[in-house]
Chain A
Amino acid sequence: MTQFLSYAIPGLPYGCVFALMAVGLVLTYQTSGVFNLAYGAQAYASALIFYVCVNARWPSWAAFLAAVVVAAPLLGLAMDRLLYRFIRSAPVLVKLVSALGMLIAIPSVLQLIFGGQQRLAPPSLWLAPSSVYFHVAGDAINGTELSTVIVTLAVVLLASLMSHFTQIGLRMRAMAESPRMVELAGINSEMVGVGIWVLSSFLAGLAGVLLAPLFAELQALSFTDLLVAAIAAAALGSLTSLPLAFWGGIGLGVVQELLGGYLPSGSVLSSGLRPALPFAVLIVLLLALPGLRERWFHDDPLAGCDPPPPPMATTIGGHGLEGVLRGGGWVLIAAFFVSCLTWVPGNWTFTLTQGIAYSIVFLSIVLLSGMSGQISLCQASFAGIGAFTCAQLAGHFGVSVLVGILAGGAVAAVVGVVVALPALRLGGLALALATLAFGLLADNVGFQFSWSGNGDSGVNIPRPQLGSLNFTSGKAFFVLAFVVLGICTAVVLAIRQGTTGRELAAMRGSELAASSIGTNLAKLKITVFAVASCLAGVGGALYGSLQGTVSPNDFNSLLSLVFMVVVVTTGVYTVQGAIQAGMAYVILYQVLDYLPSEWRNLFPILFGLGAVTYALHPEGVVEWQKRRVVEIVVSWRTRAEASG
């Protein structure tokens, strides 16, 4: 018993933080219909501001006021008023991508403002972290832990008193029940909505400040993990019940520490499974709770139905212009190929080859999200599976790297099928969260073994050789990558133009109608997941072979989110979109490399904000601009014809 307590009690502070976040998430989801994935970034913002203020020798109460009472609600309110308010009734993909954009952009904006240096030993909110206050069951309770628990309990007590005994609290509770009924009862639901948004942002800020000192370093990544833990806790309450979400959070924190205590120490299982627990819980909940699934599925009548993209630029200018645009595209590709083999400097050829590898991975996102309407947030993990398979086969079994790349694709496809099996029953947001959790699991556990990604030290993949053909030089490898991309593009185009592609488009339009005309949705989804994972695996293996050494960090779960956002920004509906995204991704990165180091934060900011434009221009920035140019040309031509 004592041992049990001594393991369980250190979990309480974590549990408190999870609980605060879970309650805040449920609050806003219930009232505004937006699943706020940027919530983790909001927590990070407050933690960072608190850190900066304390380092500037502000007293901690002043820093707390600035970070949690002022900055957090302001940030949340700004997001609601400027973004979420307009997309409440938008399709799931739009809401999700917009929130993802914010999740990725906000930490970078903050680092641009406050500098991106390492921030060690985040300060505790209230009691000194080093001093031990008392012992419970042999556990030394330090100031950080004690203050976290006390502050959480105080806030929750206050909030529940407020919600039960004040006018605004009553209205908020009514609003969480049914926004429309509140409106009908003559209450301005917008105002109550603002109140809820302020409260929830305050909770995020508080959770952020409380969580920070539990880690040795203040990093944006820890807050993404925190977000998923909070989602899992919220899922325990079926995303509707505040008390269940709260106790779910506490429970999750405690069980996490218990696992850490009872699992053999030093093994990958104990170091990996402990942080991975919330993700595993989330996956299990999504699969096991039918109520949860149906809720996400039926809540939003537009769920899974994407806005129709406007006509392609190539089709509105008539046949002459279409020919010019197509021809121009081929000339551009030929010029690119020749240039890379002749005058382009070696480091840029390397960069562009990276772009090709990414393009292949991005093709999988076009196939899954653009063509089939399925949202997967773990494509980087599939790329990792491809790379590590290739590395292990080449390293331990002497398999040729070219075969290894193919095998990487095949293994990724098999895992893709396994992931797709739950996807058959999930859709929209639930599928997105399940794949996100899978990515985090791969990150924290799957890729840490020596037989897979080998943890931080990574694995080696040599450049391939085929008989006398040697792809070790940069240019030779470029040609190889170019050919592989060509094949992958051809595959996706063939699927798109064939019956399967039409069935996928039908499924995206209406699953019900698609099955009523005889489409086997289960088979179709498994097929598309398999092909997409295979593409991602091949792209990942190619990337690994280009780099020579890759580690799980090259394919971490945050990268999956970035991939999604990048592709959606440039164009998720077309095959060109994937290639443009791959090139834009590496070129922008390389260009920012020439600039002062703080400017590198511009990268996530640009794509994060770009993702927000998805709500207005689902066809992507490139296609949107191309259409504008074509429209100008067409209007010139009509004017010239009219005057001539």
Chain B
Amino acid sequence: MALLEGVNISKRFGGIVALDDVSVIIEHGEAVGLVGPNGAGKTTLFDCLNGVRRFDSGEVRLEGRRIDNLAVYERARLGIGRTFQRLELFSAMSPREHLMVAERVHRGDGRLWKDLIGRGRARLRVARVEELLCELGLETVADDPIESLSQGHGRLVELGRALVQDPLLLLLDEPSSGLDTRETSDFASVLLAVRARRHTAMLLVEHDLHFVRRVVERTYVLDFGKLIASGHLDEVLADPVVREAYLGEVP
């Protein structure tokens, strides 16, 4: 059974058709790319998959179970992790605290009464969190205020915050935006290492095709809300329809 299925998803904003009958499938442990020009509906599709937006028609299934009536937090608890195109970090918290809070929420440690009798006051160091900080190369900045980190470190913190919850599927929204070439390449290496170790499935929205080529196994191409191609990245890019839409080439 497929891990995540988006079936015939359509979404309009007034007169604009952001998604037109889009279907995607992601298998367990598979890394899939999602490319397309700006405004093609990539982030909207992400928002529909993880519940930030409701869509007009269609279905989303996680391991066969319909989840499109669930809220963002419920889908997160079922195993859909996400990073954001514009960094969404918790101000005034250190990278370690970012991972700690995600870990505690994941463990279901959020009851008020537990806090009141002092049981929520978990140990300051949690092995999983420390391990992950090392794995991502964040151990040197683990206690710095989040505002002082570089964009590259910020992306890694977002990734770590999602990974600490052991997601079945990671939605990565343009992780290379705002990063320089070096940081982008480092981030790709980290992603590959994460995949080698955990076999987490990923859906990756990205403009940097080198990045996409390194990480994913196959790719969807979205244009004006329509899925226009899917398959191996190089095959897809050879498709004249894709070349016209994405690269502006007239066949």
Contacts and interface: CB of A to CB of B under 8 A. Distances in A.
Interface of A: 305-309, 311, 491, 494-495, 497-503, 505-506, 508-510, 512-521, 527, 531
Interface string B103-147: 011100111101111101110000000000000000000000111
Interface in B70-90: 71-73, 76-77, 81-82, 84, 88-90
A527 B115 CA distance: 13
A499 B84 contact: no
B105 A505 contact: no
B145 A517 contact: no
- Main secondary structure, interface of A, reads helix
Nearest to A311: B145
A519 B104 CA distance: 10
Contact of B104 (A502, A512, A520): A502
A502 B96 CA distance: 12
Which of B73, B89, B145, B161 has its CB near the most chain A CB atoms (within 10 A)? B73
A498 B121 CA distance: 5
Which of B50, B52, B90, B121 has its CB near the most chain A CB atoms (within 10 A)? B90
The 4 closest A-B pairs by CB, nearest first: A498-B115, A509-B90, A498-B120, A308-B92
B118 A308 contact: no
B71 A515 contact: yes
Given A508-B91, A518-B77, A527 B162 contact: no
Contact of A521 (B73, B116, B120, B145): B73
A517 B116 contact: no
Given A503-B105, A518-B77, A513 B91 contact: no
Nearest to B119: A498
Contact of A497 (B77, B112, B121): B121
Given A494-B115, A494-B116, A517 B162 contact: yes
B76 A515 contact: yes
Contacts of A508: 90-91
Given A510-B88, A518-B102, A518-B105, 12 more contacts: A308-B147, A309-B92, A494-B115, A498-B120, A499-B105, A502-B100, A506-B101, A510-B90, A516-B73, A519-B105, A520-B71, A521-B73
A79 B121 CA distance: 46
A516 B101 contact: no
A509 B116 contact: no
A55 B135 CA distance: 77
Given A497-B121, A512-B52, A517 B165 contact: yes
9 contacts: A311-B145, A497-B115, A498-B114, A499-B111, A506-B101, A513-B88, A516-B82, A518-B76, A518-B165
Nearest to A512: B88
B59 interface: no
B72 A506 contact: no
A515 B105 CA distance: 10
A495 B88 contact: no
Contacts of B102: 517-518
A518 B93 contact: no
B27 interface: no
Contact of B112 (A306, A505, A527): A527
Nearest to B50: A516
Interface in B5-42: none
A327 B117 CA distance: 25
Given A503-B101, A517-B165, A509 B91 contact: yes
Contacts of B114: 498-499
B106 A509 contact: no
Nearest to A373: B91
B91 A495 contact: no
Contact of A519 (B50, B73, B91): B73
B54 to A, nearest CB: 14
Contact of B91 (A308, A502, A515, A521): A308
A502 B97 contact: yes
Interface size class of B (residues with CB under 8 A): 35 or more
B72 A509 contact: no
Contacts of B158: 513
A495 B114 CA distance: 9
Contact of A500 (B81, B89, B118, B120): B120
A308 B145 contact: yes
A500 B110 contact: yes
A505 B91 CA distance: 8
A351 B212 CA distance: 68
B237 to A, nearest CB: 31
A509 B121 contact: no
Nearest to A510: B88
A516 B72 contact: yes
Nearest to B106: A518
A142 B104 CA distance: 69
Interface string B35-64: 000000000000000101000000000000
Given A510-B88, A515-B71, A518-B77, A505 B93 contact: yes
A501 B101 CA distance: 9
B116 A491 contact: yes
A484 to B, nearest CB: 16
Given A495-B116, A510-B89, A517 B101 contact: yes
Contacts of B105: 499, 503, 517-519
A383 to B, nearest CB: 22
Contacts of B89: 509-510, 513
Contacts of B165: 517-518
Nearest to A573: B92
Given A308-B147, A515-B73, A506 B90 contact: yes
B73 A499 contact: no
A137 B151 CA distance: 70
B93 A509 contact: yes
A508 B93 CA distance: 11
Contacts of A305: 91
Contacts of A308: 91-92, 145-147
B115 A520 contact: no
Which of A491, A495, A515 has its CB near the most chain B CB atoms (within 10 A)? A515
Nearest to A513: B88
Contacts of B52: 512, 516
A503 B91 contact: no
B47 to A, nearest CB: 10
A515 B116 CA distance: 23
Contacts of A307: 91
Nearest to A306: B91
A274 to B, nearest CB: 40
B92 to A, nearest CB: 4
A518 B92 CA distance: 20
A13 B164 CA distance: 63
A499 B101 CA distance: 7
Contacts of A520: 71, 73
Contacts of A495: 112, 115-116
Nearest to A500: B115
A304 to B, nearest CB: 10
B101 A502 contact: yes
Given A516-B50, A516-B72, A518-B165, A499 B120 contact: yes
